[in-house]
Amino acid sequence: MERKGPVFSAFIYVCAILLAAVILAPLAWLFVMSISPAADLAAKPLRWWPQVADFSRYAQLLSTVENSAGAAFTASLRNSLEVAGMATLAAVVLAVPAGWAVSRTPSIGWSLSMVIATYMLPPVALSVPLYMGLSYLGLLNNVFGLALIYLTILAPFTTWLMKSGFDSIPREIEAAAMIDGAGLFQTWRIITLPLAAPVVATSALFAVLLAWDEFFYALLFTSDQRAKTLTVAIADLAGGRVSDYGLIATAGVLAALPPVMIGLVMQRALISGLTSGGVKG
């Protein structure tokens, strides 16, 4: 191996600290804003660290008192959970049979390629007919309608992940079960799905992240507390006349917590999922 001098290793540590600072500083500041008293945030020169930590905004946003900022926030939180949950469930239910079919019968693989190619489509290319269609069906400003639309994003992605997951399960195991007289669904239940459980979980978490992050369709297709998701609620806060910037930061922290938790817990699986496309080319 290369011999590394003290200058080189000092250089490495300086770069590492710099990188850590670049990543952490904006995130830390978001949290500090959320617990700083409004006066500290408006002070000149700016007070970088609050004299007293003030967690009251968290209580304020998570309260359900009618017509408060909290009511709008908790409603959007519930909508986000509902839409992400329904869309993820539907995407996985569609993806498991489709992913298995393509994995075991490569001759129909082109149909999945076509589905995945829709990733290139900008959402604006679908938005006008989708708006008119939802309006016709009475599904505008409705969590079911929004969850249905989210399948445009979630389903191709989960199917692709499931397909690569099934690829790594040997067919011979399934064949053995079938020779013993098990039908297709029985084989899935006893052999395939237990083996594919980690991939199903990874796909589902990816789908939750995508749905949680979605903004464009939610902005277009929802209009009030019955269906507005968190991303739209936060954009409203950021673009509105809220004078307490700490409250906006608090909403940001709360909205970021679930995906960040998923990201940290799932790190290994997420990275291998993200890179599998890259490595396979």
Partner 1 sequence: MSGTWMTLRAWLLMLPLLVIMVAVIGWPLVDTVRLSFTDAQLVGTAGNYVGFDNYTKMLTSSNFTRTLSTTTWFAVVSVAAEMVLGVLAALLLNQEFRGRAVLRGLMILPWALPTVVNATLWRLIYNPEYGALNAALTQLNIIGDYRSWLGEPGTALAALIVADCWKNFPLVALIALAALQAVPRDITAAALVDGAGPFNRFRFVILPYLAGPLMVALVLRTIEAFKVFDIIWVMTRGGPANSTRSLSILVYQEAFSFQRAGSGASLALIVTLLVTVLAVAYATLVRKTAGSAT
Using rule CB under 8 A, residue 13 touches partner 1: yes
- Residue 108 engages partner 1 in binding (rule: CB under 8 A): yes
Instruction: Candidates 75, 86, 208, 248: give the one binding partner 1 (CB under 8 A).
Output: 248
Shortest CB 66 distance to partner 1, Å: 25
Residue 16 engages partner 1 in binding (rule: CB under 8 A): yes
CB of 19 to partner 1, least distance (A): 6
Torsion of CA 10, 12, 13, 18, to 10 degrees: 130
| Gap between the terminal Cα atoms of the chain | 30
Q: By CB under 8 A, is residue 245 in contact with partner 1?
A: yes
Decide if residue 132 touches partner 1 (CB under 8 A): yes
Contact 192, 169 (CB under 8 A): yes
Residue 99 burial (10 A CB sphere; 0-12, 13-18, 19+): buried
Q: Is 1 in the site for partner 1 (CB under 8 A)?
A: yes
Output the CA angle 156-158-159, nearest 5 degrees: 65
Q: Pick from 35, 212, 222, 227: which binds partner 1 (CB under 8 A)?
A: 212
Return all residues near 103 (Cβ < 8 A) that are at least 6 apart.
162, 163, 166, 167
Please count the residues of the chain: 281
Q: Is 179 in the site for partner 1 (CB under 8 A)?
A: no
Location of structure tokens 């291998």: 272
Rule CB under 8 A: say whether 128 interacts with partner 1: yes
Can residue 85 be called a binding residue for partner 1 (CB under 8 A)?
A: no
| Nearest residue to 168 (alpha-carbon basis) of 139, 194, 199 | 199
- Whether a cis peptide bond, with omega within 30° of 0, leads into 45 is yes
24 is a contact residue toward partner 1 (CB under 8 A): yes
**Cβ of residue 198: shortest distance to partner 1, in angstroms?**
18
Stretch that binds partner 1, among 49-57, 60-68, 147-155, 196-204 (CB under 8 A): 147-155
**45 binding partner 1? (CB under 8 A):** yes
